[in-house]
Chains A and B, each alone.
Chain A
């Protein structure tokens, strides 16, 4: 103990007047926080093992449990905070890189929360979505420069392959391996029901899920796990993952402990071997190499699937996106620095990359300045938390958003940020069979459908309020947005006016 001892951040508070020692908490906790003392017929707990996932709190039949923030404190210091000191102790002890999961929790500005949406009054009628049609249908894909006509003068369909979505939302990439079979099944079934797409992530596609192909994006990442011709042709789009908002510039590592059974088979690697995705694609060291991979994948899929190139939002994102737009990509996906992950080095997650709002505004403007915004579609992700975030993102210039953390929350995730431990009590980020079965896909998919149905209603209400009845008229419509509490430079980058300024 001594200098190695770190007082837990959170404490399990048990109300012994309510506790009936039913041991439900003990059975539910994969971290073995709770223990039953037979002699005294009493439940006790070890706070140090608690990850604050709320599984026991949610399932305690007598509401005897809650988790509270510890008030144990070092001497207060604005510079050397308790968190900083603890992390330093941990590294001095282990010599290792700090690991974290899910999105950047630090106190950076959330620009979506400093943007407000317009509504019609008098000069222009608002539209009631309950009485009038309200369209949220979106198509993603490249667009040709000119129309073509046949000898009869009729317009010929010269569009490259397009993806059709009932609303401007898709489930972002989460690999089978990083999340469970049941989580994948929930996402796939929800995507099918909703008329949108989910994304396999880089772990290949379990053979049971090929039937959801019409609602699937298959991903090709630097590790190329599970990539083969049948896989590439199983979905409606192929995504090349260059980077991820939670960990720009580095690769991935799925520990061997998770590479078991079907996951090993799906990834096409031996059981128990670590799945390491290199930082770069070793066949892409430059933009011209990207073009080669884009067209290799198009060749492999007979030019029938749009190719998405996904990058993390970094400082030069606008110029990079412009390069991608000219490299044969049909769709560009940009992931902001608040995007989630199953595991990332803490320092990278918390200090590398830029907010998605600024990246989106910069990319959309750059592509427009170059006259090529119309040629590609733009998908953004990296902490879309509500329908309001989506309306703001579309008005800033996105065609569509990716959501992942929100989807996991709908499945029961309580954002304890401990995915890398592999012991997710909610059955999401784990491969332990007893834990996986806690997530019932019949219920999970319905919760996802509920969430997005609700969001779609809210998007329609906000659109109607602005007098807009089709989502494409919102796309890039920045006059519908105003900033609050933003400085001139931030407003300039976002391309919006400050609240209080008229048209």
Chain B
């Protein structure tokens, strides 16, 4: 059986997310409850969570979450990390033995900061340096896989149903201001934890429901800019596109949404001149980053979360609000289970981004 990355595996899925705009931290209990309602949208072959604001005591350090196939590989990888980073703290990620989750790899967490001398000689900015190191581990150190690399955030994922994955990682013991969750329904047996979602790079994390038809066009385009698609999943390439447009090209998240779920030319023609010029420009300039086919995604980032549907809205997604908290999920039931008394609830149109930032923040 080929492992994820050697073969491309499309998936259907469930996604859910919640964010408290005033930055109040809540336990991971709620997000587990939310995603568990959509049990039938997953098939037990992958589940995971991204949690923001969970490491306040280490908020200035990159939190690397790594899967290892063996102790030997761990040693090799740690030697690499020591050559490039100052490791402030390292530990096993706490897990709970449950019968639903088996065959776990070694799962370790490192809080690191780039070695100043290495960073200076690389002539890269700090985030690019970290990205390059993550790619090197994932492509060159066989059997080790960095699946989370942001600051004050972390990804927790495994092969299993998402509610079991949550219990496995003791997610209820973490407190954060934003969570996203993913239940996977792959059409093939991946059998590897790295292939579960969310997919993350630096602070960007993506959970995604859909199967994009533009995959190879997007992959071949993004690989020109030093990204390496090792998993061959839609979520991976979407994450890289967002990183490329937002971090490297300096587009705002609204502009990013206008690229990946671009308005139709007919719509653009009828816009006001200034708006029309911008949209025309973005479509011409970043035509290879248009994402086609059905998707609903939740993009977690440093100061918030963005929800976005493909431009035809071929996947369900609803948004609910209650006071300072915004909920987004594939199904309304997944929101109602944790907040029955919503102030309002609506379904965003295809291609219309919903960007929720921490108060005072900017996308």
- Say whether B215 contacts A477, CB under 8 Å: yes
Chain B positions within 8 Å of A475 at CB level: 217, 287-288
Chain A positions within 8 Å of B210 at CB level: 124
Which residue of A is nearest B274, CB measured?
Answer: A154
Chain B positions within 8 Å of A373 at CB level: 221, 224
- Say whether B285 contacts A476, CB under 8 Å: no
Which residue of B is nearest A136, CB measured?
Answer: B265
Which residue of B is nearest A120, CB measured?
Answer: B213
| Interface residue A391 (Cβ < 8 Å from any Cβ of B) | no
- Say whether A503 contacts B10, CB under 8 Å: yes
Which residue of A is nearest B213, CB measured?
Answer: A467
Chain B positions within 8 Å of A144 at CB level: 285
| Interface residue A468 (Cβ < 8 Å from any Cβ of B) | yes
| Interface residue B292 (Cβ < 8 Å from any Cβ of A) | yes
Chain B positions within 8 Å of A485 at CB level: none
The size class of the interface chain A forms with chain B is 35 or more
- Say whether A473 contacts B224, CB under 8 Å: no
> Which of B7, B274, B288 has the largest count of A CB atoms less than 10 A from its CB?
B288
Q: Separation in Å of the A469 CB from the closest CB of chain B?
A: 6
Cα A490 to Cα B273 with chains together (Å): 48
- Say whether B284 contacts A155, CB under 8 Å: no
Among listed B131-139, B248-256, B341-349, interface-contacting one: B248-256
If A473-B217, A477-B215, A477-B216 touch, does A159 touch B288 (CB 8 Å cutoff)? no
| Interface residue B236 (Cβ < 8 Å from any Cβ of A) | no
Q: Which of A154, A374, A473 contacts B278 (CB 8 A)?
A: A154
| Interface residue A272 (Cβ < 8 Å from any Cβ of B) | no
Q: Which of A137, A159, A469, A476 contacts B220 (CB 8 A)?
A: A476
If A467-B213, A503-B8, A503-B9 touch, does A159 touch B287 (CB 8 Å cutoff)? no
Which residue of B is nearest A369, CB measured?
Answer: B224
Chain B positions within 8 Å of A503 at CB level: 7-10, 232
- Say whether A124 contacts B284, CB under 8 Å: no
Chain A positions within 8 Å of B264 at CB level: 133, 135
| Interface residue B290 (Cβ < 8 Å from any Cβ of A) | yes
Chain A positions within 8 Å of B105 at CB level: none
Chain B positions within 8 Å of A502 at CB level: 7-8
- Say whether A479 contacts B216, CB under 8 Å: yes
Which residue of B is nearest A478, CB measured?
Answer: B216
If A469-B292, A472-B287 touch, does A157 touch B281 (CB 8 Å cutoff)? yes
Chain A positions within 8 Å of B218 at CB level: 473
> Which of B187, B213, B220, B274 has the largest count of A CB atoms less than 10 A from its CB?
B213
Q: How many residues of B contact A (CB 8 A)?
A: 45
Chain B positions within 8 Å of A478 at CB level: 216, 220
| Interface residue B5 (Cβ < 8 Å from any Cβ of A) | no
- Say whether B221 contacts A374, CB under 8 Å: yes
| Interface residue A191 (Cβ < 8 Å from any Cβ of B) | no
Which residue of A is nearest B232, CB measured?
Answer: A503
Cα A503 to Cα B214 with chains together (Å): 13
Chain B positions within 8 Å of A157 at CB level: 277, 281
Interface residues of B in 234-269 (CB under 8 A from A): 249-251, 255, 262, 264-266
- Say whether B250 contacts A147, CB under 8 Å: yes
If A147-B249, A476-B221, A503-B10 touch, does A470 touch B266 (CB 8 Å cutoff)? no
Cα A503 to Cα B290 with chains together (Å): 21
Chain A positions within 8 Å of B224 at CB level: 368, 371-374
Chain A positions within 8 Å of B225 at CB level: 371
| Interface residue A139 (Cβ < 8 Å from any Cβ of B) | yes
Q: Separation in Å of the A157 CB from the closest CB of chain B?
A: 5
Which residue of B is nearest A153, CB measured?
Answer: B252
| Interface residue B211 (Cβ < 8 Å from any Cβ of A) | yes
Chain A positions within 8 Å of B290 at CB level: 470, 472-473
Cα A405 to Cα B314 with chains together (Å): 40
Which residue of B is nearest A370, CB measured?
Answer: B224
| Interface residue B223 (Cβ < 8 Å from any Cβ of A) | yes
| Interface residue A73 (Cβ < 8 Å from any Cβ of B) | no
- Say whether B292 contacts A467, CB under 8 Å: yes
If A475-B217, A478-B220, A479-B216 touch, does A467 touch B294 (CB 8 Å cutoff)? yes
If A467-B292, A476-B221 touch, does A159 touch B284 (CB 8 Å cutoff)? yes
- Say whether A469 contacts B312, CB under 8 Å: yes
| Interface residue B12 (Cβ < 8 Å from any Cβ of A) | yes
> Which of B187, B262, B264, B287 has the largest count of A CB atoms less than 10 A from its CB?
B287
- Say whether A476 contacts B255, CB under 8 Å: no
- Say whether A472 contacts B288, CB under 8 Å: yes
- Say whether B265 contacts A159, CB under 8 Å: no
| Interface residue B293 (Cβ < 8 Å from any Cβ of A) | yes
Cα A162 to Cα B280 with chains together (Å): 12
If A155-B281, A162-B284, A479-B8 touch, does A473 touch B213 (CB 8 Å cutoff)? yes
| Interface residue A123 (Cβ < 8 Å from any Cβ of B) | yes
Interface residues of A in 434-449 (CB under 8 A from B): none
Cα A132 to Cα B220 with chains together (Å): 27
Chain B positions within 8 Å of A159 at CB level: 281, 284-285
Q: Which of A137, A147, A155, A468 contacts B265 (CB 8 A)?
A: A137
Q: Which of B214, B223, B262 contacts A468 (CB 8 A)?
A: B214
Which residue of B is nearest A367, CB measured?
Answer: B224
10 contacts between A and B (CB under 8 A): A124-B213, A133-B264, A157-B277, A162-B284, A468-B214, A468-B293, A473-B291, A475-B288, A476-B221, A479-B216
Closest 9 CB pairs of A and B: A473-B214, A473-B292, A479-B216, A467-B213, A503-B8, A477-B217, A472-B287, A124-B211, A477-B216
A-contacting residues of B (Cβ < 8 Å)?
Answer: 7-10, 12, 187, 210-211, 213-218, 220-221, 223-225, 232, 249-251, 255, 262, 264-266, 274, 277-278, 281-282, 284-285, 287-288, 290-294, 311-312, 314
